Chain A
Amino acid sequence: MSQRTEQIENLFAEGASRLLARAADNHSLTGGMLIPRISVAVGKYVLRDDPHAAPEVVKEFIDKLQADDLCLIVACEQGNQKAWSDLVERFSATVRSAARSASSNEEGAEDLAQSIWAELHGLRVRDDGRPAGKLAYYSGRGSLAGWLRAVVAQLAVDQHRKQSRLVQTEEDADFDRIIQHGQEENAWSGHGDAVNPELEISKKLAGAQMRKALATSIKQLSAEDRLLVKLYYFDGLRLREAGAVLGVHEATASRRLTRVHAELRRQVEITLANQGWTKPETERAFSEVALHLEADIEPLLATEGVLMKEENEIAG
């Protein structure tokens, strides 16, 4: 056994002891019962990205685990009926609420909630004779309630997929299809009463190229910026909500979005320049496309404004 491994194992054992001491109810668990769970969690969140993480980092990670929730889940997994009853009693409302949010109707929510407990307990049996439920995947890093909500949401997605037999497409294909769709629409719809059909077609083609360049530029953004763009524009979240997902303040998200706008514009200009566009052409295309889109988006923005006003009135 290498010194590093021994050191890590000692950290796990000491961390397990501290975790049991921190728990209000350790359900008569021993350190040995917790060490495998701690090991998995550390490997998943720390050692995978940094195999040579310092002992202090590992120790800090273990000390931030949810002691009570982890002990409860491990006790349930160990077959402690009292712990299981405690789990159901404490979190049945959370599961029901999450199921209601994920389902479109009350009946589906009830079915989903019931199936959650079966999934947690496990319908299959492992080699050691214990049920192979989802309880084994709770690391204790986040709250048990949040984990249960995530489990419900994932289960709802799976059920939805099974029911609708979804054919999932690549996101990139989405963009390509959008562009293709736009090109076909622009080419054949005969939008507007163009005085010069050739000019009109060229404008629409320019718009399509610009959208494609924009989609490409989005892909080149950093993960954080891309996530922000997706959350704000594609998922329709407000800046405050998008900032919450990213773990930043609304103002920070706003500043970051402004920076992303500039970066996207610069990337689009570079892309179009690579396609032979001159700078004046690019600028004119931006203006024209924006003017055209503004006319299309105005009703949508007006609707958003009304909604925001109503929200403010309710909040205020």
Chain B
Amino acid sequence: MKQANNNEVDLLLRSLARARDESALESGSSSGDGNRATSDHLDADELNSYAEGVVPPPARARYTEHLADCDVCRGIVVGLTSAAGAAIRSEAMEQKGGAGFWQTLALLFSPAVLRYAVPALVLTAVIGISLLAVWQRREQHELLARNEPADSATPTAQLKQSESPTSLQPSEAPATMPKRAESPAAIDSVKEENYLRDNKSPVAPGAGTRTGEIASSAPAAKDAGQAGESAGLSELRPSYAPEPKAAATSSGATTLNEADKATQVPKEQPAKLEDQERRRDMYKSTPSDERGPNRAAPRSTAAPQSNTGLDSLSAARVETYGQGKKDKAGEKANVETRNVSGRRFAREGNAWVDTAYDSSRTPIKIARGSEQFRALVADEPELRAIAEQLNGVIIVVWKNRAYRIQ
């Protein structure tokens, strides 16, 4: 009902406006401000201020009163308002265009984008790190594979690389350097050293053989005998020391018997190294003045004579090595052994191990106090004595059988 009433008023108002327009056209008047004097109209400043909405409220009410009755001023205000709106829109467009970069940036970091971008970035980072780790691991494997042969080389090669006299720095033996340079043998040894270093020959015996060949081909060694050759060889390679264990076994300072030696010496230790060690010890024990300064020294002595500085260094190194060897021997000497019932037992940790025991054999486990133990000691009184005298775990070989009593 109310809406219908409003529609009726709306239609009446439209009719009134149309009739007024027609009347104005007939009378030739386009405005309805009557005989209002020009001075009564709003000036340009007021019209513009009104259109821009910057007129204070009291003044605005006054201007509104005028505009409601003055078609001319109202027409101008309408035009100015639409122009101001267009200007504002154009300014907004300019601002929009000017802020394009920042808007793009804001869109780039908007939650909608970050929702997908962050997981993607994290996934990419994880994949990248994984690939890097795999690559590095592969590199390490390659390096290990490359270094493995050198690492698995005999101590001869290792020592050759690390402790060779030719690897000494000039500052360490300045006085010896000219002599070294004059000595063809020394030159050869340097060549050999470089060769070995460059090629990192994994086969130590081969390297040793080659060293021997080179050494034997040296002019200074041509007149030398076989003994001198071997001595010279040991002089050239004073650090070609066998493993301390081997030294310990060769020194005979321990109480281990031959069977023990066989078990203690590392299997990979070449027997040749023991010979070299022995020869070097012989050389060490031989005084240099025994040969005399003018005697035709064997090849083995010629090199030390010509390499006095190196000799001293080598001697020092040998001495150091000898000290290490003694230490190793001391360790061996400290190994506790006991003889019980004609059997020799060595202390290995918490166990007494029969020196005749071969680790490849599997012992029969017998617990002390068990029925099996009682039966065994009843049959073999010597085993009872062993079990009583040795505490802890005992591994004993008895009648071709290994028993582990614990």
Q: Which A residues lie at the B interface, using CB under 8 A? A: 44-46, 48-50, 57, 61, 64, 98, 101-102, 134, 137-139, 141-143, 145-147, 149-151, 153-154, 157-158, 164, 166-175, 177-178, 181-182, 210-211, 214-215, 223-224, 226-227, 229-231, 233-235, 237, 241, 244-245, 247, 258, 261-262, 264-265, 268, 286-287, 289-290, 293-294, 296-297, 300
Q: Nearest chain A CB to B122's CB is how many angstroms away?
A: 42
Contacts of A224 in B (CB 8 A): 64, 68
Q: Nearest chain A CB to B391's CB is how many angstroms away?
A: 103
Output the nearest chain A residue to B32 by Cβ-Cβ distance.
A171
- Asked if A141 contacts B64 (CB within 8 A), the reply is no
22 contacts between A and B (CB under 8 A): A137-B44, A146-B52, A146-B83, A150-B80, A153-B44, A153-B76, A171-B32, A178-B19, A181-B19, A223-B64, A223-B68, A224-B64, A227-B74, A233-B13, A235-B75, A244-B82, A245-B81, A261-B9, A286-B5, A290-B7, A290-B8, A296-B15
- Chain B binding surface SS class: helix
- Asked if A287 contacts B8 (CB within 8 A), the reply is yes
- Asked if A150 contacts B81 (CB within 8 A), the reply is no
Q: Nearest chain B CB to A25's CB is how many angstroms away?
A: 20
Question: Is the C-beta of B399 less than 8 angstroms from some C-beta in chain A?
Answer: no
- How many angstroms from the CA of A34 to the CA of B12 in the assembled complex? 52
> Given contacts A154-B44, A171-B69, A244-B85, are A182 and B34 in contact (CB under 8 A)?
no
Question: Is the C-beta of B51 less than 8 angstroms from some C-beta in chain A?
Answer: yes
- How many angstroms from the CA of A45 to the CA of B57 in the assembled complex? 9
- Asked if A262 contacts B6 (CB within 8 A), the reply is yes
Contacts of B177 in A (CB 8 A): none
Contacts of B118 in A (CB 8 A): none
- How many angstroms from the CA of A141 to the CA of B55 in the assembled complex? 8
- Asked if A177 contacts B23 (CB within 8 A), the reply is yes
- Asked if A293 contacts B12 (CB within 8 A), the reply is yes
- How many angstroms from the CA of A301 to the CA of B69 in the assembled complex? 26
> Given contacts A150-B45, A224-B64, A241-B82, are A168 and B14 in contact (CB under 8 A)?
no
B194-218 residues with Cβ-Cβ distance < 8 A to A are none
Question: Is the C-beta of B371 less than 8 angstroms from some C-beta in chain A?
Answer: no
Output the nearest chain B residue to A181 by Cβ-Cβ distance.
B23
Output the nearest chain B residue to A65 by Cβ-Cβ distance.
B54
Output the nearest chain A residue to B77 by Cβ-Cβ distance.
A245
Contacts of A294 in B (CB 8 A): 11
Question: Is the C-beta of B297 less than 8 angstroms from some C-beta in chain A?
Answer: no
Contacts of B32 in A (CB 8 A): 169-171, 174
> Given contacts A178-B16, A227-B68, are A167 and B58 in contact (CB under 8 A)?
no
Among A175, A178, A244, point to the contact of B81 (Cβ < 8 A).
Answer: A244
- How many angstroms from the CA of A142 to the CA of B84 in the assembled complex? 11
B 39-57 binary contact with A (CB < 8 Å = 1; else 0): 0010111111101111110
- How many angstroms from the CA of A157 to the CA of B72 in the assembled complex? 8
Contacts of A141 in B (CB 8 A): 45, 48-49, 54-55
Question: Is the C-beta of B27 less than 8 angstroms from some C-beta in chain A?
Answer: yes
Contacts of B10 in A (CB 8 A): 261
- Asked if B54 contacts A64 (CB within 8 A), the reply is yes
- Chain A binding surface SS class: helix
- How many angstroms from the CA of A168 to the CA of B31 in the assembled complex? 7
Question: Is the C-beta of B128 less than 8 angstroms from some C-beta in chain A?
Answer: no
- Asked if B8 contacts A171 (CB within 8 A), the reply is no
Q: Nearest chain A CB to B260's CB is how many angstroms away?
A: 104
Among B13, B22, B29, point to the contact of A167 (Cβ < 8 A).
Answer: B29
Q: Nearest chain A CB to B405's CB is how many angstroms away?
A: 102
- Asked if A297 contacts B11 (CB within 8 A), the reply is yes
Q: Nearest chain A CB to B34's CB is how many angstroms away?
A: 3
Question: Is the C-beta of B35 less than 8 angstroms from some C-beta in chain A?
Answer: yes
- Asked if A223 contacts B61 (CB within 8 A), the reply is yes
- Asked if B45 contacts A290 (CB within 8 A), the reply is no
Question: Is the C-beta of B192 less than 8 angstroms from some C-beta in chain A?
Answer: no
- Asked if B34 contacts A171 (CB within 8 A), the reply is yes
- Asked if B45 contacts A167 (CB within 8 A), the reply is no
- Asked if A231 contacts B53 (CB within 8 A), the reply is no
Among B14, B38, B51, point to the contact of A245 (Cβ < 8 A).
Answer: B51
- How many angstroms from the CA of A134 to the CA of B65 in the assembled complex? 25
Contacts of A293 in B (CB 8 A): 11-12, 14-15
Given contact pairs A149-B79, A233-B14, enumerate 16 new A-B contacts (beta carbons under 8 Å): A98-B83, A141-B55, A150-B76, A154-B43, A167-B28, A167-B29, A168-B31, A169-B27, A171-B71, A174-B29, A214-B12, A224-B64, A227-B74, A237-B78, A245-B78, A262-B6
Contacts of B44 in A (CB 8 A): 134, 137-138, 147, 150-151, 153-154
Among B2, B19, B83, point to the contact of A262 (Cβ < 8 A).
Answer: B2
Contacts of B54 in A (CB 8 A): 64, 141-142
Output the nearest chain A residue to B45 by Cβ-Cβ distance.
A139
Contacts of B126 in A (CB 8 A): none
